A and B are shown apart, each in its own frame.
Chain A
Amino acid sequence: MAYIKKSPWIIHYDGSSCNGCDIEVLACLMPKYDIERFGAVNMGNPKHADIFLITGQINSQNREVVKTIYDQIGDPKVVVAIGACAIGGGVFRDCYNTLGGVDKVIPVDLYVPGCAAKPEAIIDGVVQAVGLLEEKKKRGVVTHKEGTGDETRKLPPVPDLNLEQE
């Protein structure tokens, strides 16, 4: 039995949108919707999380941050893009600094539409994500290579932004 569906821990990240979707995500954690009933907890730390809820579009500033956070979530994991901006850039898609939706930088598993997305839709997204987690666990989908923790230390985990931007 996969326990992962009984205890999906969540991390949420807001790109650069109007914040409306992010507020809705937090609303799900409020007493009214109470997603802890399903064992879901908002963690605020990618290393403890299973489900990555991301709102807002990707711009050149947060591109690497989103990648890093995605990298720091242990497998199995699911990415849920919430709201129009996260799906395709939304109203900001033509901005000079906007790269587009979340799937431009990391693989997205589920899209929750809406502007802003409704809490019910978000909960539905999370519930589907939980199913996906179980499936990924069964299929053994991994993005990280396992080792002894030593040899990987030499690999650069993230691109050297320092050089790129100067």
Chain B
Amino acid sequence: MTSLWLIIGYVVLAPLIGGIISGLDRIITARMQGRYGPPVRQAFFDVFKLFEKQNLTVNRFHGYYLVCFLIFIIFSGILFFGGSDLLMVVFAFTVADIFLVLAAYSTNSPYCSIGAERELLQMLAAEPMLLLTAVGFYMVFGSFHVSVIYRAALGGKLPILYLPGVFLGLTYVLTIKFRKSPFDLSTSHHAHQELIKGLTTEFAGPSLALIEIAHWYETVLLLGMVYLFFAFVPIIGVIITLFIYFVEILIDNTNARIKWQLMLESAWLATLVLGGLNLLALYLFAMISKGG
């Protein structure tokens, strides 16, 4: 029953929370740059405005891929907050991203296509760490199910104590997933860049609004994953999760965009060193305790 409420809560509240986080993001960013910044509700104004605009399309197909993108993002969130299999959450999340990439490819526009290609590179860089996180949870809790992990965490088995490396690795690739500097290769929330708007160049009006809303759901889902590490005391968990997001904003504002080569190398290195060593330690620990 709780999981049903959580699912409904996610579907209804995630856009609200995601939008507010996005608005706070812009204010904090503005303050870091010595500006005043827009109101908190600005993200909602933007989306409502986009729905008021005309739907410009390059062909009649790409809009539909975006609908699928949104649906699958929501679906993966439902799986996560419904307490389902963490692997499946990541897989569904990947499917959603693939739809975004296909939408961009479908436009057959140079900027969009390069953006799509870079988005794929970002997935290539980030995907291993996301899956490794799931495996890490499995090694500690003996289950991929979020509900089991969550209950165990509430029961006092602190995930972060077992998975500090995995957590750091996940934080690293979160920057890629949030498309924040220095990894905002495919598209960016900031103004001018070398690819115009990259992936989203050809999407206008309501289509762009769908992408924005999907990003809100995405943000809440990813922050949910972060929260899972600190689920033992809800208040602390929320505070730390928001702090992590603050760190992401700080990184965003203090780093220039890097080349994809560096992104791929560093992300895989982080995955192998932080995630891999953590899992290795868990494995050895399990071996020793089994042997003893």
Chain A residues in contact with chain B, CB under 8 A? 2-4, 6-7, 29, 31, 34, 36-39, 41-45, 47-48, 50, 72, 74-76, 137, 142, 144, 146, 148-150, 153
Question: What distance in Å separates the Cβ of A78 from its nearest Cβ neighbour in chain B?
Answer: 13
The reply to whether B191 and A42 form a contact with Cβ atoms under 8 Å apart is: yes
Instruction: Report A45 CB to chain B, min CB distance, Å.
Output: 5
Please name all residues of chain B whose beta carbon is closer than 8 Å to the beta carbon of A38 when the two chains form the complex: 38
- Most chain-B CB neighbours within 10 Å: which of A2, A34, A43, A144? A34
Max count, chain B CB within 10 A of own CB: residue among A34, A74, A137, A144: A74
Partner of A142, one of B42, B54, B57, B197: B54
A44 touching B54, Cβ below 8 Å = no
Across the interface, A149 reaches (CB within 8 A) one of B38, B59, B200, B208, namely B59
CB-based contact B202/A47 at 8 Å: yes
Q: Are A43 and B191 also in contact (CB < 8 A) when A31-B33, A149-B57 are?
A: yes
User: How far is it, in angstroms, between the C-alpha of A74 and the C-alpha of B186 when the chains are bound?
Assistant: 23
7 tightest A-B CB contacts, nearest first: A149-B60, A6-B45, A3-B48, A74-B54, A47-B204, A3-B49, A7-B49
B52 touches A34 (CB 8 A): no
Partner of B54, one of A2, A34, A43, A75: A75
- Given A42-B192, A72-B56, A74-B205, 10 extra CB contacts under 8 A: A3-B49, A31-B34, A31-B35, A39-B38, A39-B42, A43-B197, A44-B192, A50-B53, A149-B57, A149-B63
Question: What would be 29 A-B contacts, judged by CB atoms less than 8 Å apart?
Answer: A2-B52, A3-B45, A3-B49, A4-B49, A4-B53, A7-B42, A34-B30, A34-B35, A36-B35, A36-B38, A38-B38, A39-B46, A42-B191, A42-B192, A44-B191, A44-B192, A44-B193, A45-B197, A47-B56, A47-B204, A48-B204, A48-B208, A74-B56, A75-B54, A137-B52, A144-B56, A146-B54, A149-B59, A149-B63
Does B45 contact A39, Cβ atoms closer than 8 Å? yes
- Nearest opposing residue in chain B for A144, CB measure: B54
A45 touches B33 (CB 8 A): no
Contact yes or no, B38 A47, CB < 8 A: no
* Bound: A119/B55 CA distance, A: 32
